[in-house]
Amino acid sequence: MEIALVGIGKIAVDQHVPAIDASPDWKLAATVSRHGTVDGVPAYTDFTAMLQERPEIRVVSLCLPPVPRFAYAAEAIRAGRHVMLEKPPGATLSECHALEALARAHRVSLYATWHSRQAEQVAAARAFLAAAPLKRLEVRWREDVRHWHPGQDWIFEPGGMGVFDPGINALSIVTEILPDPIHLTTAELRFPENRQTPISADMAFFHPQGAEVTAHFDWLAEGAPEWTIEAETEAGYMLLEDGGAKLTIDGAAPEAAPPGLTGEYPRLYAQMAALVQAGGIDMDLAPMRHVADAFTLGRRVSVAPFHW
């Protein structure tokens, strides 16, 4: 299938383009971006023009920041194109619900991707947590924004999510691996004096079986990042590290998974191909609900200004 990639920034170049190039399902047939291009691929700067001139391209993958994404997705859906959304799928939950309703009305596929759910050991962690009652789960997601998003001021503007840009990756894993639904009870969000989105956050959740569930996000952590989920159950201790790539149970690694497709983004594109072929929609918004709850319920604390 031919696909157009919209928004040729760091994530598109680092992840989407290699995944598409390596996939037996896809051919990158066009790009749309104000500045970026991909060698050998027809490039457009106007999205509407691409849709009009390339009717044979039936699928669009949107790698834009969250705020402008709704307009692009809605235009593509109205033009009868299937749409794949980089995380988070929109700037608000209402936008996402509207896109799903529009996709159903136009009978096209829509996929809200959560790439961290496709990390190598997430499925094994889910299986372990399903086997015994949970006692405690702690998320620690700490990295340096200057390294991962250098100079990208949009992430500190309204809709940019701040520390929840990486934090939602952790929440996407948590909502995938826990057998019971959770919801936020308290949060503290720390906003730099000169910015509109938080630089760090602490969160606590209600668990229906009484387990202690917390999350700690920090975007000023220097050195190696920490992307860790630690859990204690009645059957033992689990440590999921490196954003879901490494798992130990009571200090030992589980048996290797059977050979199969590897890599988060290759798995996402394989799932998108399956959705298009089946005419399906996958718009799980559980990770985004937790972020929305944090902004609604969280205590706001002003901290020192942030400068690049």
Compute the average pLDDT of residues 151-174.
Answer: 96
According to DSSP, residue 70 is labeled H
Per-residue pLDDT at 59: 98
Residue 208: pLDDT over 80 = yes
User: Would you say residue 153 has pLDDT above 70?
Assistant: yes
Give the residue numbers annotated as catalytic, written as ranges: 87
pTM for the model stands at 0.95
What distances in angstroms separate CA 265 from CA 16, 20, 43, 261, 279, one per listed residue?
A: 7, 9, 22, 10, 21
* CATH label, 2-112, candidates 3.40.50.10320, 3.40.50.300, 3.40.190.10, 3.40.50.720: 3.40.50.720
The domain segmentation of the chain, as residue ranges, is 2-112, 118-258+291-303
Residues with Cβ within 8 Å of residue 55, at least 6 apart in sequence = none
The conformational region for residue 105 under phi > 0 = left, psi -120 to 50 = alpha, else beta, is: alpha
Cα 24 to its chain centre, rounded Å, is: 24
Q: Residue 148: phi, psi to the nearest 5? A: -90, -25
Half-sphere exposure of 117 (CA within 13 A, CB side): 18
**Is a pLDDT exceeding 90 seen at residue 261?**
no
State the pLDDT at residue 262: 73
* 219-242 per-position pLDDT tens digit: 999 999 999 999 999 999 999 999
107-137 confidence digits (pLDDT tens): 999 999 999 999 999 999 999 999 999 999 9
Predicted confidence (pLDDT) per residue in 81-115, tens digit: 999 999 999 999 999 999 999 999 999 999 999 99
pLDDT band (50, 70, 90) for residue 254: confident
For 299, phi then psi, to 5°, come to -80, 130
What does DSSP say about strands 200-206 and 212-218: parallel, antiparallel, or unpaired? antiparallel
Q: Residues 150-183, buried b or exposed e (16+ Cβ, 10 A)?
A: eebebbbeebbbbbbbbbbbbbbbbbbbbeeebe
Could you report the per-residue pLDDT of 41-62, keeping only the tens digit for each? 999 999 999 999 999 999 999 9
Q: What is the mean pLDDT of the chain?
A: 96
Cβ distance 149 to 272 under 8 Å? no
Which CATH superfamily groups domain 118-258+291-303?
A: Dihydrodipicolinate Reductase; domain 2 (3.30.360.10)
**For residue 162, pLDDT beyond 80:** yes
